[in-house]
Copies of this chain bind each other. A is one copy, B any other.
Amino acid sequence: MSERPTRKRNPRGQGERLRRELIDAATALLAELGDAERLSIRAVARRAGVTPPSIYRHFEDKQSLVSAVLEERFGEFNRFLAEAEGAASDPYDALSRRCHAYLEFAREHPGHYRVLFGTKAPMPSGRHPGRRAAPSDERPRAGAVSFFALVDAIQRCLDAGAGSDRDSSFLAVELWTLLHGVVDLRLTYPDLPWPAAEEITDAVRTQAGLGKPNLE
């Protein structure tokens, strides 16, 4: 019952292996929980078949572990979108694929999407007394990367002659908020009569003048 750790200890030079297993365990748990603050050091240790203090051999504190996982997840997300875009023939198709990939990632990994982009409640000002200087939230920086990649994709459409009276930055905000809104509200209200997510974003994208101008 007490989940005693039954792992074999790693050999001499291979101490880094536990680090990977901890990140993998934390990744799996975050996919289930959908919230980085709910993740507990002890749950990660249980899943990895290890005692909680062992984690501190590989990560300074809980925040470090979470950050390591978030960094990998953000990398995976941005890579997934970039690869989807790479298979396109023209800028309009590329933008379309990027948007669809965004929705696909959220559909396939809802827990991770929530961890990456979900609303995070503000810190109650020092939950643990002996805290270091606020670790703050690292998601804004990483998430902004996704945003500027979207700006670039839109700019390439404008450069290719897309007709819009707005600049790429504004259009990127418009598209991103829509993508995020679709994903987030669907997760919260799965029982509403939702149309296909792609249908919504495609509609707005073409209305904004970013569709392929094949009929003009």
The complex is assembled from copies of this chain, and their number is 2
Q: Could you list which residues of chain A lie within 8 angstroms of chain B, going by C-beta atoms?
A: 32-35, 38, 114, 117-122, 124, 139-140, 143-144, 147, 166, 169-170, 173-174, 176-182, 184-185, 187-189, 191-195, 199-200, 203-204, 207-208
A209 to chain B, nearest CB (A): 9
A178 CB contact (under 8 Å) in B120, B178, B187: B178
Contact of A169 among B117, B187, B193 (CB under 8 A): B193
Q: Chain B residue with minimal CB distance to A207? A: B207
Chain B residue with minimal CB distance to A188? B119
Q: List 9 A-B contacts (CB under 8 A).
A: A117-B185, A119-B187, A173-B200, A174-B178, A176-B181, A177-B181, A204-B204, A204-B207, A204-B208
Question: Which residues of chain B are within 8 angstroms of A178 by Cβ–Cβ distance?
Answer: 174, 177-178, 181, 204
